[in-house]
Amino acid sequence: RTKHGEAAFSFYAPQIWNKIPENCKTEWLSDSAVNVSPGCSHRDRCRNEPCQNGGRCENLWQSYQCQCTRPYEGHDCEEEHVTARFGNEDSHSFAAFAIHDDLGQNLSVSLFLRTRRRNGLLLVLSNSSSSPYLHMWLEGGRVKVRLRNSESVRAQRAIHDGEVHFVTVEVLDGRMSLYVAGQKQGDVEGRTVDVNAGDVVFVGGLPEKSSTSEFGGFFKGCIQDLRIGDTRLQFFGLDTSLTSYPLEQIENVIQGCPGDNACSRNPCLNGGICFSGWDDFTCTCPSSTAGRRCDEVKWCELSPCPTPAECKMVQQQQGYECYSNATFLNDSTVMTYRGNGHIFQNITSLSLNLRSRKRNAAILHAEKGSSFITVSVQDGLLFMELQSSSGEERVSTVSLSSRRSITDGEWHAVHLFMTAPWAPSSRWTLVLDDEIEEASLSKSQGSNLNFLREGVDIYLGGLAPFTGWSLAGCLGTVELGGIALPYFSSSEVNLPRLQIEQFIQKSPNSALPGCRGASVCEPSPCVNGGQCQDLFNTYNCTCAEGWAGRRCDVLIDTCASNPCLHGNCSINGLSYECTCEVGYTGVDCEEQVDVCKNHLCANGATCLHGPDKYACLCAENYTGPLCSIPKLPVSVCGDEVRNYTCFNGGNCTDRELSCDCPAGFIGHR
């Protein structure tokens, strides 16, 4: 057959050709042969890959044939089955086809579908008495099929991703199987099915809205190449050359597979830019927002809190809160709060950070009827007293205290919470500085703090304003059930707080931000060279050597400062005494002794300083320790070979070369 299917004939006859004389072959070929050539040539008709859209080419010698994949057809698989769009712009749409022949007890339903909806009715087979016996629908994005009242089969994965998926349902000998993209999802043994002429196929929904709602409502998406067995169900452009069940009814089903313009409803919030996709949209969000619809505002990137507060996102990113420390000085700094009337969660915990040196003070107090809570410091220990009721049960009282003091001027983290927060009442736990091993557990059970949610004043920093027993110290932001008691009012922050559950500040005065103690080192209380160290509402003096006491006013070692500069120190009662080194004097051996002062060197002699005494350098005519003895004449006798010198007035004789000493002197010379 030719390319287009018409009949053709080709043959090769070598015996006849060989008997023709050579001089006649050329003339015969040119004059007598039409479309005949010597030899037996052949060309692969599939070499140029004529089949489109994944079709498989089959070579037929002088032509080819394409085996098309669904949903394509045509000689070269160039034609695609028309797609039907259901639920365009959220309309209710469906179609109905009548089966005009008996199909027996075995059934196959196959189709391509595309959707982004999680739920919706896909197909219903009903008999002539309007009794449905097969349902196919989407549930949670997964295809689900049920035959009569038997057990249903559900696909293993969701297909509501906007992509095209091929779904097949087969009923064979009473067993129903479900396939998605050729992969078996499951099967179930059920009753046999009997498809007869006159039965109806509903696609996308049912005429009765209530019946459709039982299976997730009307389908929204696209269906293509729907077949019952090998018979197509054509929605548009009925081709008489194809076998199709007749279309009985169609409502709001359009040709093609356009998507809704999802951006027409402006789904992107807070300045986000919308980009429409098929039945979907994406939002390009400003840097300060996030989420699919830019509905998650990154509040803290907008700097809503005053300095030095720290911004924190709260309540599933719905809003923000400004966390900071605050200073409490006296009755006038007690803060008041109330719930905003929209707190619905159970309040089962209380958290705070405390820094104080006051051994007795109220930290938080609230009461309503017979219920109250007081968190305080008593003799340096943290106490919680709670009296509450749960429903019609009797009033319960809980008392808890810390195991160690918290009034050391350091920061301490306090966590109070119900051990079983889901229960109407339970024991309460106190954890100090996150040391779980040293946690305190109440002996009795108490209920939650829900009486604080609305209509009750909550006092922070005292029992109430101007009632005494107030706190002197600092508190971090206190949380009740994770909801902050803010130190900044709505007029002190830069953006509105949009979280639903809030405690509102009702105090006439603003909190004192930061943590500041008294100026205990100005002026310095430390004396005698001591250095003052501020330890938050108290001080410590670092004393110079030899001094002690809170203010360095107690002398403990008079020699500790090494007062003797050139000598040895010894304690002498409340004072000291220096034994000076040779050549030094003074109370602290600070003066060098002048040994030549008042010296006795005579006759113009020079006084020479020694370490502990002096010596005299005599003039030329004097001698002696003090240069007080005059020098006598010297005589010399002899010649150039022999000479002799006599000192101190001695007379020298040449003859004997000897000295005659005057009175008072002896010796050879």
- Per cent of the chain over pLDDT 70 is 92
Domain assignment of residue 280, yes or no = yes
SS (H, E, C) 228-253: ECCEECCCCCCCCCCCECCEEEEECC
Rounded-to-integer distance, Cα 426 and Cα 447, Å: 6
Task: Read off the tokens for 252.
Answer: 């709001």
State the Cα torsion 121-122-128-131 to the nearest 10°.
Answer: -40
Query: Count of domains in the chain?
Result: 4
620 phi, psi to nearest 5 deg = -60, -35
| Residue range 584-611, pLDDT digits in tens | 889 999 988 888 888 889 988 899 888 7
Examine the pLDDT at 668 and tell me if it is beyond 90.
no
Same domain, 13 and 132: no
- pLDDT band, residue 44 (cuts 50/70/90): confident
What are the two backbone dihedrals, phi and then psi, of residue 228, each rounded to the nearest 5 degrees? -110, 110
Long-range contacts (CB closer than 8 Å, 24 or more residues apart) made by 123-126: 123/201, 123/202, 123/203, 123/226, 124/201, 124/202, 124/206, 125/195, 125/199, 125/200, 125/201, 125/202, 126/199, 126/200, 126/202
Please indicate, yes or no, whether residues 76 and 89 belong to a single structural domain of this protein: no
Within the chain, how many helices (H) and strands (E) appear?
3, 57
Same domain, 203 and 159: yes
Interatomic CA distance for residues 607 and 93, integer angstroms: 134
Q: Do the domain assignments include residue 74? A: yes
Instruction: Find out whether 173 and 166 touch, Cβ atoms under 8 Å.
Output: no
**Domain end call among 18, 48, 80:** 80
pLDDT at 405: 94
Q: Are 275 and 374 within one domain?
A: no
Q: Burial code of 609-646, b = ≥16 C-beta within 10 A, e = fewer?
A: eeeeebbbebeeebbeebbeeebbeebebeeeeeebeb
Q: Is the dihedral of CA 234, 239, 245, 248 positive or negative?
A: positive
Tell me which H or E stretch contains 344.
none
Q: Which residues of 421-449 are buried (b: 16+ CB within 10 A; e: fewer)?
A: eeeebbbbbbbbeeeeeebbebeebbbbb
On whether residue 7 sits in a domain, the answer given is yes
Give the range of the structural domain holding residue 207, as residue numbers without chain letter.
Answer: 81-255
pLDDT at 558: 80
Average pLDDT over residues 642-650: 80
Q: Does residue 166 share a domain with residue 53?
A: no
Neighbour count for residue 128 (Cβ, 10 Å): 12
Query: Is pLDDT at 12 greater than 50 in this prediction?
Result: no
With 80 as the cut, is the pLDDT of residue 275 above it? Answer: yes
Which of 253, 257, 213, 259 has its CA nearest to residue 235? 253
Secondary structure class of 23 (helix, strand, coil): helix
Answer yes or no: do 400 and 413 share one domain: yes
Neighbours of 10 (CB within 10 A): 11
- pLDDT, one tens digit per residue, over 317-345 is 689 999 999 999 888 899 999 999 999 99
Q: How far apart are the first and last CA of the chain?
A: 166
Q: Is residue 16 over pLDDT 60?
A: no
Note whether 139 and 180 are same-domain residues: yes
**Spatial separation of the C-alpha atoms in residues 57 and 415, rounded to whole Å:** 76
Q: Which two tokens stand for residue 39?
A: 């030899």
Residues of 301-318 as b/e, b for ≥16 C-beta within 10 angstroms?
eeebbeeebebebbbeeb
* Model confidence pLDDT, tens digit, residues 166-184: 999 999 888 899 999 999 9
Q: Residues of the chain with pLDDT > 90: what percent? A: 57
CATH of residue 113: 2.60.120.200
Q: Are 561 and 547 in contact (CB under 8 A)?
A: no
User: Is the confidence at residue 415, as pLDDT, over 90?
Assistant: yes
Asked whether residue 104 falls in the same domain as residue 154, the answer is yes
| 452 and 332 together in one domain | yes
Residue 614: strand, helix, or coil:
strand
State the pLDDT at residue 623. 84
- Domain stops at, among 28, 53, 80: 80
Q: In this structure, are residues 353 and 488 in contact, taking their beta carbons and an 8 Å threshold?
A: no
Specify if 330 maps to a domain.
yes
CA atoms of 258 and 85, how far apart (whole Å): 7
Q: Is residue 355 part of a domain?
A: yes
pLDDT per residue over 500-543, tens digit each? 999 999 998 888 999 988 888 989 999 988 999 988 888 899 99
3-state secondary structure of 124: strand
Three-state DSSP state, 598 = coil
Same domain, yes or no: 334 and 450: yes
Show Cβ contacts of residue 305 under 8 Å, excluding neighbours closer than 6 positions.
Answer: 311, 320, 322, 324, 488, 493, 494
For residue range 434-453, list pLDDT tens digits in order.
999 999 999 999 999 999 99
| Residue 223 and residue 179 share a domain | yes
Does the pLDDT of residue 657 top 70, yes or no? yes
- pLDDT at residue 544, as a whole number: 86
Structure token digits, residue 25? 């072959």
**Cα–Cα dist 592/487, whole Å:** 70
Coil, strand or helix: which one is 89? helix
What are the CA-CA distances from residue 146 to residues 184, 624, 643 (Å)?
16, 144, 156
Q: What is the C-alpha to C-alpha distance for residues 662 and 652, in angstroms, rounded to an integer?
A: 12
Q: Assess whether pLDDT exceeds 90 at residue 224.
A: yes
* Tokens 């968190």, residue located: 375
Cα 625 from Cα 603, distance rounded (Å): 12
The structure tokens 């319960």 sit at 396
**Average pLDDT for 91-112:** 92
Name beta bridge partners: 203.
95, 123
Contact 364, 462 (CB under 8 A): no
Residue 647 domain-assigned? no
**Tokens standing for 272?**
């986000």
Name the band, by pLDDT with cuts 50, 70 and 90, for residue 311. very high
Q: What is the reported pLDDT for 10?
A: 43
Nearest to 382 by CA among 409, 410, 360, 349: 360
* pLDDT above 60 for 14: no
What is the length of the chain?
Answer: 669
- Domain boundary (57, 80, 103) is at 80
* 238 pLDDT higher than 70: no
Give the confidence band of 6 by pLDDT, cuts at 50, 70, 90.
Answer: very low
**Cα–Cα nearest to 455, from 371, 398, 553:** 371
251 and 267 part of one domain: no
The β-bridge partners of 371 are 368
* H/E run at residue 27: helix 22-31
User: pTM of the predicted model, to two decimals?
Assistant: 0.56
Would 631 be classed as within a structural domain? no
C-alpha dist (Å) from residue 515 to 354, 380, 467: 10, 20, 23
Nearest-5° angle of CA 330, CA 331, CA 332? 90
Residue-wise pLDDT tens digits, 138-160:
999 999 999 887 889 999 999 99
The whole-angstrom separation of Cα 474 and Cα 460 is 11
DSSP single-letter state for residue 12: -
For residue 523, is the peptide bond before it cis, meaning its omega torsion is within 30 degrees of 0? Answer: yes
Asked whether residue 399 is domain-assigned, the answer is yes
What's 284's domain CATH number?
A: 2.10.25.10
Which DSSP state fits 405? -
pLDDT of residue 7: 39
pLDDT surpassing 70 at residue 54 = yes
504/321 Cα distance (integer angstroms):
12
